Amino acid sequence: MSNITQFTTGGVKSVQFGSYTGTTGFVQNAITISTINPAKATVILNGGYFYSAGGYAAQLPYLISLTATVLTVQGPHLYSTSWSGQTGTWQVVEYY
């Protein structure tokens, strides 16, 4: 468990954000970011796809990996070729 003294000398060092277009199938999106320390960063993903054709399905984007210069995200996507161009947004927050 953390205590408050761990957070009194630091704060947010940088915030990066953007958007990307999802893809059909299981293609991953590699997004180039400015250099960060991944051990001191948080990733926030938004977006999703809802599809109705004999049933409902929802796909949300999820994090594959985060390195010092690349954020890799999968989704939002469909399992078929009926992709409609849904976009996802991302944020990388780095702390001191």
Q: How do the domains of the chain map onto residue ranges? A: 4-95
**Which three-class secondary structure state does DSSP give residue 27?**
coil
Asked whether the beta carbons of 65 and 74 are under 8 A apart, the reply is no
Domain 4-95: assigned CATH number: 2.60.40
Calculate ∠ Cα 62-41-96, nearest 5°. 170
More confident: 56 or 32: 32
Q: What is the pLDDT of residue 47?
A: 76
- Mean pLDDT throughout 16-43? 86
pTM of the model: 0.75
Q: What is the pLDDT of residue 1?
A: 45
Per-residue pLDDT of 36-89, as tens digits, reads 999 999 999 987 665 556 555 556 788 999 999 999 988 765 555 554 556 788
Q: What is the pLDDT of residue 68?
A: 98
